[in-house]
Every structure is written in C-alpha cells, then in structure tokens.
Amino acid sequence: MIYWLYEHRDLFSSSEGLLYKVLNIFKYHTFRSGGAALTAFFLSLMFGDRLIRRLISMKIGQPVRSAEEVHKLYELHGKKAGTPTMGGILILGTIVVSTLIWAKWENLLVWTVLFTTIGLGLLGFWDDYLKISKKNSKGVSARVKLLWQTSVAVIAASLFAYGIGPVEGEASLRALYIPFFKSAVIPDMGLLAIPFFTLIIVGASNAVNLTDGLDGLATGCSLTTALAYAGFGYICGNVRYSGYLDVPYFSAAAEIPIIAMALAGACLGFLWFNAHPARMFMGDTGSLALGGCIAALAIGCKQEVVLVLVGGVFVMEALSVMIQVVSFKTRGKRVFRMSPIHHHFELGGWHENQVIVRFWILSLTFALMALATLKIR
C-alpha cells in the first residue's frame, strides 16, 4: 500500500515538489523494512493488553498436562494453567497488516509467504480452540493436523516452484543451492521441488511448535531467525550484493526483508507480554504460523538449506523428540530426562529463565554462523 504512493507520487505533487521527494523514500527496501518492523511492534504494544483482557474475559486459558501425565513438569509449570493463550492471533495479525502496508502487492512471493503463514495459523487456531473447549492438551488429532499442514505446504510449494518464475538471468526457485558452493548443486529440481519445499514447511512449523514450551523461548528464537533472513533476503534481492557474494540473485526476493522485519517486529512486540513470567502464550496459533512463515522466507530467498543452521535451536528441539521416541520404542530407554530438550535442562536443575536466555544465545550464535557462510564460497 505504501509502495503504491511511491508509484503514483506524480498524482500528489509535481516532480519538483517536496511531497514528491518525500514519497521517493518509499521505493527503498531498507526504509520499508524498518517501517514494517516498527509497525508490527507498535501494533503489538497497542493491542496486546486489550487482547489479554479479552482472552481472560472469554476464559481462554492455557491447559496444562495433569500431574498424572507428567508429574515433574506439572510441578514446574502447573501454576501457568489458565494463562491466556491463543496470543498468536496478535503475532499473525500484526505480521499480515504490517506486510500489507509496506510490501509490494504485485509480488506473488509476498502473497505466497502470507498464504503459508495464515494457512498454518488457522490450523493452530483450530487446535487451540479444541484444547480450550475440551479442557485438555490434546487438540486436533495428529493425522488431521499433518493432513492440513501438508495441504497448505503443497499449495505453497507449488507456487514457489512453478508460480513464481524468475526473469531471464535470475536464479530459479527450483534450483538447489548449498552453502560453500558458488553455483547451484542441482540447477532445476523439477517436480521434486514440491515435496522438498513441502517437507521444509511442515518440518519448520512443527519444530517451532515443539520449541514453544517456555515463556518467550520460541518468540525470541523466531526473532533472531527473522533478522537473519531479512539479511539473506536483502542480499538475494540485490543484484550488486548477490553478485559480489556469489549468492543466487532473485529480484522478487527483494520483498523478503519487509516480511522478515514485520515478523521480527511482531515477535519483539509479543515478547513484551510473553517474557517470563508470561502474561500471554502464543499457542499453536502463533507457533505453527511462525514456523510456516520462517520456512517460506527461507525458500523465497533460496536459503532453505541454511535454515538447518539459522534455526539451529528449532532443529535441536525437533531432533530431541525424534531421538527420544525412537530410543524408547526400540530400546525401552530414554536418552533425555524429557523432550523437547528444553525440558531436559529444566529437570536437570536449570531455572526456566536460564534455559530461555541460553537458548536465545544459541539462536543468535547460529544465525551469525549462518550469515558468515555468505563469505565462504
């Protein structure tokens, strides 16, 4: 919407007028990225308290697994039962509104990222609603959840692979790029790009969902991940910098920083209310949407493989669950005290704040390491 003012600035002023020159600033991606972050942040602050009061009045509180299910975890987190949840509505809403204000509407990449984010956010909303209405932590069945995630991911993956075509001389989204290599390892994955992108979207949404177990943990890690992809997107969408760093150039990716910074601003604003002790939880509404958005950003700037490093904390959390399940089913033994791994450290004596801040530090470290790969080609 803001970019429209730049494109039609001649309707408001002559080329010599002050307004004309002021509107010129809206063409710069850096300015619009900053605007997107600030918009999402201040919208979060503006509506956060109102949402909390509304959730409390509607008795939408977080269900906690009973002492019979997980006795030790209940001792640590039982007091959080009843804390307003579904706060992901705030994250989702501010990302969408801020992106629509600052991004270029004619860019299909923008709409594909928003579709992925909203589609998975709606699944999370349904899941949260069932948990609250049934007063338990079950929610949507695993089969239905996976079906919904896969459906959204396949549509988004198809758009990425075949709907968003590069102009001549640009990189293709169907190409596979791996860090440390200057050119594409696979120039065109063809139809295989669809299941590949689908796996990334489903995997990322579930990984962020698993990470969302402590106050502000998933929010803070998503913030650093978003900032990293704002940097990747800026470079990938800039012909000069992408050429200098031997990064695939894709002009549509120039809008990635706007969405990534909207995501960062939304996370920062939500963290205001989600920091320990949390006044509001994001619920699956937020965690599934965040994971989908991050995956879509990674695919959109051809840095999906680097997501394993950028989102290192999310990978740790997901792997800990898989290792725990496989070990228990095959050997009858647990590798960790409890999974996801943040609970392992809690039960090991770390205070919740220690786990959160240390995982934030890890997340920032992983993001910086990922950005450093830009110079190693």
pLDDT digits (tens, 9 = 90+) for 204-255: 999 999 999 999 999 999 999 999 999 999 999 999 999 999 999 999 999 9
Higher pLDDT, 18 or 166: 18
Token couple for 359: 């995982």
Helices (H), strands (E): how many in the chain? Answer: 16, 0
Sign of the dihedral through C-alpha 367, 368, 371, 374: negative
pLDDT at 67 over 60: no
For 25-69, give the DSSP string.
GGG-HHHHHHHHHHHHHHHHHHHHHHHHHHHHHTT-B-----TTT
Domain span at 50:
33-375
Task: List, in sequence order, every residue forming a beta bridge with 186; answer none if it has no partner.
Answer: 176
Model pLDDT, residue 75: 65
Model pLDDT, residue 302: 94
- The answer to whether residue 189 is domain-embedded is yes
| Total domains, the chain | 1
Quote the pTM value: 0.94
CA distance 131 to 125: 10
Q: Which one-letter amino acid corresponds to residue 73?
A: L
- The answer to whether residue 4 is domain-embedded is no
Q: Is 376 exposed, middle or buried (0-12, 13-18, 19+ CB in 10 A)?
A: exposed
Model pLDDT, residue 208: 98
- Select from 156, 153, 270, 281 the least CA-distant residue to 205: 153
Quick one: how far is CA 100 from the chain centroid? 17
- The answer to whether residue 6 is domain-embedded is no
- The answer to whether residue 16 is domain-embedded is no
pLDDT at 14 over 70: yes
Q: Residue 5 — very low, low, confident or very high, per pLDDT cuts 50/70/90?
A: confident
Model pLDDT, residue 73: 65
When pLDDT is averaged across residues 342-350 and rounded to a whole number, the result is 92
Using the structure block, give the residue that is written with the tokens 């307003």. 84
pLDDT at 95 over 90: yes
CA distance 93 to 101: 12
When pLDDT is averaged across residues 3-29 and rounded to a whole number, the result is 80
- The answer to whether residue 340 is domain-embedded is yes
Q: What percent of the chain clears pLDDT 90, i.e. is strictly above it?
A: 77
pLDDT at 51 over 90: yes
Model pLDDT, residue 70: 58
Q: Are 216 and 275 in contact (CB under 8 A)?
A: yes
Model pLDDT, residue 64: 64
- Select from 318, 268, 264 the least CA-distant residue to 294: 264
Q: Is the bond leading into 277 cis (omega within 30 degrees of zero)?
A: yes
**Tens of pLDDT along 113-143?**
999 999 999 999 999 999 888 766 678 999 9
pLDDT at 56 over 80: yes
**Tens of pLDDT along 327-338?**
999 998 999 999
Range in 46-60, 77-91, 273-287 the model is least confident about: 77-91
Model pLDDT, residue 4: 82
Q: Residue 81 — very low, low, confident or very high, per pLDDT cuts 50/70/90?
A: confident
- The answer to whether residue 9 is domain-embedded is no
pLDDT at 166 over 80: no
- The answer to whether residue 27 is domain-embedded is no
Model pLDDT, residue 66: 55
pLDDT at 65 over 70: no
- The answer to whether residue 20 is domain-embedded is no
Averaging pLDDT over each range in 17-31, 130-144, 290-304, which range is the top one? Answer: 290-304
Task: List, in sequence order, every residue forming a beta bridge with 61; answer none if it has no partner.
Answer: 84
CA distance 17 to 150: 52
